[in-house]
Structure 1
Amino acid sequence: MTGLRIELRRSTALWAGLVVLVSGTGMLALITSETARWTGNSTSALLELRLPLAYVWALVVGLAVFQGMRDSRAGVTELFAATSRPGWVRLGTLASAVAGVVAVATAVLCAGMVAKVALGGGFISLGFIPLMVTVVLALASSVLLGLAVGRLLPHPLTVPVALVATFMVATTAGRALEAESPDDEISRLALLTPVLDPPGSDLLTTSTSVDLGQILWFTGLGVTAFLLLVARTHLGRLTALVPAGLAAALALSIMPVKYSDVLVTDSIGSRPVCEGEVCVSQVHAGSLPAVAAAGRDALAKLAVLPDAPTGVREDTSAMAHLVAPQRSRQIIYVPSQGHLRVLKMTPDQIRLELLAGGGVATCSGPNSFNTYEGVVRYVTAGYFNGELAPLASEPLMWNNSRLRGEIDDAWQQFRRQSPQDQLKSVAQARQMLLECQDSERVLDVLRATR
């Protein structure tokens, strides 16, 4: 313990821990807005930490490399080699000090984010623990690797090269893990880094195969790094590579290839919380009263349709932030992921969103715009509402004079029909939306032009 206290005072251990806390907190403050999703779920909070980790990771590795060069800079390498005390004991104490402080600082940073979620009234579950273990292992093993590199390559350029190389690996891995479709293939090698671009959803987490693979890899990397740090012979250094090689092979064998297998639905946070026939996820349980009131009203108005929907559910599917919302004849799905924040709307706004399309969501994917589809949503919502009203999800169409004109024209054509024909048109349009038929044809049905 005496040696450990000495290393804590004389090494960069405390500085490395401070870098983790200060830089991690600072980067999170820079990228976090008032509408950030991660503050509502502890699992999402730990995923959000993966974004600034690219910078923190590089800084920590740079400090570790600098610390590993200490004996060489002081010119005492041969002196320590000649002492009777085993070298692995002294180097092990140094490694324990630096890696231990970084691990503790990382755990404190993770705990702080979870505490922020809890203090803000967010949802807390044990699902964040595998994510925290992965981050802690990643930084601790990287510190050990940095110490080993600094000791083996004591050159003035080693520190800047290691820092820049780590940052480049992190940014390259982040880009390799980006996806625009659930079927996009990602790089398994990129999953061997702790970096991950957080999804636009607070209902997702990494899959079990990703968690196990990363924990296995970072554990093997840490063992190899420590053996490299204390090895004195070329044979010993070659042998030290075995744990990392085996861990990498095993990790890559279980890592997924498709993006849809990297991120999965948070099974705990997405459990339904219901009020009658209306359900939302546990993460969004605070929105249930507003959604329930709007949902019951919408279901009552939609009851005039043949084979009308009987329930309202939040869409908690894993890839909802990348694909078109779910559609069902019996269930109205409430989109809550991506940029559309339906659960944050007022009850009246939610009711209009549920009525639009006759209770059927759009066929367009997130961040896409279809004029015909938008007009259909306005006209169908207006039919059940009794008059046209702005849809919070389509403010551009309502506020744009040209698009507003198209809505008004379609509404006037629709209103010229008899009440029986209006109901028949809406029912037919709903059926076409369920089948994702061409939106222009759906609009023609509402306008009675075909």
Structure 2
Amino acid sequence: MTGLRIELRRSTALWAGLVVLVAGTGMLWLVTSENARWKGNSTSALLEFRVPLAYVWALVVGLAVFQGMRDSRARVTELFTATSRPGWVRLGTLATAVAGVVAVAGALLCAGLVVKVALGGGFVSIGFLPLMLTVVLALASSVLLGLAIGRLLPHPLTVPVALVATFMVATSAARALESRSPDDEISRLALLTPVLDPPSSDLVTTSTSVDLGQGVWFAGLGVAAFLLLASRTWAGRLAALVPAALAGVLAVSILPVKLSDVLVTDSIAGELVCDGPVCVSRAHADALPAAAAVGEEVLAKLAVLPGAPTEVREDTSAMAHLSAPQRSSRTVYVPAQGYPRVLEMPPGQMRLEMLAGAGVPTCSTPYALDSRDAIVRYLTAGYFNGGLTQLASDSYLWNSSRMRAELDSAWQALRGQSEREQLNRVAKAREMLLACEDSESILATLAAR
């Protein structure tokens, strides 16, 4: 313990821990907005931390490399080699001090995020624990690797090169994980870094295969780095690489290849809680009373349609930001993603969003610009509402004079029909939406003169 206290006082251990806390907090504050989704769930909060972790990771590695060069800078390498005390004992004390402090700082930062979510009224569950363990393992193993690199390559350029290289690896991995479709293949090697894109929802988390694969990799990397740090011969240093190689092969075999297998719905936060025929996720249970009242009203209005829906469900799909929403003839799905979020809208706007499309969501992928599809949503919502009213999810069409004129014309064409014909047209449009037919054809069905 005496040696550990000395290393804590004389090494960069405490400074490295301070860097993790200060840089991590500062970067998280800089890269996220006041309305960031991560504040609603402890799991998504730790996923959000993976974004600034790229910067923190690089700084930690740079400090560890600098610390690893201490013996060389003091010109005592040969002196310590000649002592009777095993070198791995002294180096182990140093590694324990620096890696331990950084690991504790990482754990404290993660715990602070969870506390912030809890104090803000967000949803907290044990689902954040695997994500926190990954962060702690990644930081600790990176410290050990940095110490080993600094001891083996005591050159003035080693620190800046290591820092820049780590940051480049992190940013390259983030780009490699970008995808436009849930079925797109991603680089498994990119998952060998602790960096991930920010979550699109507060209902997603990493899959078990990602947590397990990254845990195996960082644990193996930490073992290899310590052996490399303590080895005195080239044969020992080559042998020290074996745990990292084995861990890398095993991790790559475990890690998924598709984005839809990387991010999945949080089984705890995404569990449905119900009030009659209306269900929302457990993380959004505070919105259930309002959603239940509006949902039952919506189901009553849609009951005039043939094969009318009988339930309202929040769409908790993890990949909803990249694919067309779920649809069902018996279910009205409420999107959990997008802005503004439907469950946070006033009752009147929430009702319009559920009625749009006669209870069927658009067939377009999110953020796709399809003016005809938007007009269909306005017409169907207006039919059940008794008049056109702005949809909070699509203010662009409402505020565009050209698009508004086209909407008004289509509305007049629909309202110019008999009540029976209007109902038939809306029912037909609903069938076409369920089958994802062309939006131009659906609009023609509704607005035919």
Give the shorter-chain TM-score range.
over 0.9
2:144 paired with 1:148: no
Aligned equivalents of 1:232, 1:448: Cα separation in 2: 84
Structure 1 residue 372: deviation in Å? Answer: 0.7
Aligned equivalents of 2:316, 2:436: Cα separation in 1: 21
Structure 1 residue 339: deviation in Å? Answer: 3.8
Letter paired with 1:200: S
Q: Deviations over 1:274-297 (max 9, x none)?
A: 111000001111111221121111
Q: What's 1:389 paired with?
A: 389
Aligned equivalents of 2:137, 2:62: Cα separation in 1: 17
Per the alignment, in what secondary structure is the counterpart of residue 283 of structure 1? helix
Structure 1 residue 338: deviation in Å? Answer: 3.6
Q: Is the 8 A contact 1:174 1:195 kept in 2?
A: yes
Letter paired with 2:326: Q
Aligned equivalents of 2:343, 2:187: Cα separation in 1: 34
Q: What's 1:191 paired with?
A: 191
Letter paired with 2:240: A
Q: Deviations over 1:298-331 (max 9, x none)?
A: 1111111011000000001121111111111000
Q: What's 1:66 paired with?
A: 66
Q: What's 2:438 paired with?
A: 438
Query: Unaligned stretches of 5+ in structure 1?
Result: none
Aligned equivalents of 2:237, 2:447: Cα separation in 1: 77
Query: Unaligned stretches of 5+ in structure 2?
Result: none
Aligned equivalents of 1:188, 1:357: Cα separation in 2: 39
Q: Is the 8 A contact 2:339 2:393 kept in 1?
A: no
Q: What's 1:299 paired with?
A: 299
Aligned equivalents of 1:157, 1:313: Cα separation in 2: 58
Aligned CA RMSD, in angstroms, stands at 0.8
Q: What's 1:200 paired with?
A: 200
Structure 1 residue 50: deviation in Å? Answer: 0.4
Aligned equivalents of 2:277, 2:6: Cα separation in 1: 64
Q: What's 1:245 paired with?
A: 245
Structure 1 residue 400: deviation in Å? Answer: 1.0
Structure 1 residue 354: deviation in Å? Answer: 0.6
Q: Deviations over 1:389-435 (max 9, x none)?
A: 11111101111111111111101010110000000000001000100
Per the alignment, in what secondary structure is the counterpart of residue 55 of structure 1? helix
Q: What's 1:268 paired with?
A: 268
Aligned equivalents of 1:351, 1:130: Cα separation in 2: 38
Q: Is the 8 A contact 2:340 2:392 kept in 1?
A: no
2:85 paired with 1:85: yes
Q: Is the 8 A contact 1:299 1:310 kept in 2?
A: yes
* TM-score using structure 2 length: 0.99
Q: What's 1:349 paired with?
A: 349
Structure 1 residue 448: deviation in Å? Answer: 2.5
Q: Deviations over 1:19-58 (max 9, x none)?
A: 0000000001112212100000111001001000000000
Q: Is the 8 A contact 1:322 1:338 kept in 2?
A: no
Q: Deviations over 1:426-445 (max 9, x none)?
A: 00010001001111111111
Q: What's 1:225 paired with?
A: 225
Q: What's 1:180 paired with?
A: 180
Q: Deviations over 1:190-213 (max 9, x none)?
A: 000000112211111111111000
Q: What's 1:364 paired with?
A: 364
Per the alignment, in what secondary structure is the counterpart of residue 197 of structure 2? coil
Structure 1 residue 340: deviation in Å? Answer: 4.8
2:168 paired with 1:168: yes
Letter paired with 2:90: R
Letter paired with 1:160: P
Per the alignment, in what secondary structure is the counterpart of residue 312 of structure 2? strand
Q: Is the 8 A contact 1:410 1:447 kept in 2?
A: yes
* TM-score using structure 1 length: 0.99
Q: Is the 8 A contact 2:173 2:190 kept in 1?
A: yes
Letter paired with 1:54: A
Q: What's 1:39 paired with?
A: 39
Aligned equivalents of 1:197, 1:13: Cα separation in 2: 29
